[in-house]
Amino acid sequence: MLLFAGCMKEYEYTSPIAGDTVLTRNIPSGNIPTPAWNVDTNYDFSNSMTAVVAVDLKQTYPDVTPADWQVGGGDLMGVFDGIKCIGVTEPTDGLFFLYITSPTSSNAPTRLQYYSARLHNIFQADTVLHFENGARLGSVTDPITPAFTE
């Protein structure tokens, strides 16, 4: 049974041990439309790095299943230097392949943001990425999987 409480989805199940009905941990659901994240096309793309990113909201919301939030069509992954978008992509086979342009200052901390079209919400990675020209973070067989929170 799916219950809605504010902007959170709560999942109810019957405990196999006690037989009691239990509410699992909430997964944030919102009403955020698809963001219009874009990288400045006038940018000098000679300094860049790449990242292969996987999303696993189960790290932050352990009681939900991947079916509750699975990566799908309409999802986006963006990389931000403050509020400036320096990389954005849609998923391919459940992974995000990011081409990241140089932030405004050398070795500036950047943050990943994940938009879930299914949940209509934006999640931010707890991990800060540091730009390094030419760096490659993650791979298809070993993507980076930061924890994302609302």
Residue 38 has pLDDT above 80, yes or no: yes
Nearest-angstrom CA–CA distance, 93 and 91 = 6
Residues with Cβ < 8 Å from 120, sequence gap 6 or more? 29, 30, 31, 32, 33
Q: Under a CB-based contact definition with an 8 Å cutoff, are residues 95 and 53 in contact?
A: yes
| pLDDT tens digits for range 86-145 | 999 999 999 999 999 887 766 667 899 999 998 889 999 988 888 888 999 999 999 999
Nearest-angstrom CA–CA distance, 146 and 110 = 13
Nearest-angstrom CA–CA distance, 80 and 86 = 6
By the 10 Å C-beta count (0-12 exposed, 13-18 middle, 19+ buried), 101 is classed as buried
Structure tokens at 5: 């409480």
Q: pTM (2 decimals)? A: 0.78
Three-state DSSP class for 30?
coil
Which of 1.10.760, 3.30.1490, 3.40.50, 2.60.40 is the CATH number of 31-149? 2.60.40
Q: What is the CB neighbour count within 10 angstroms for residue 16? A: 6
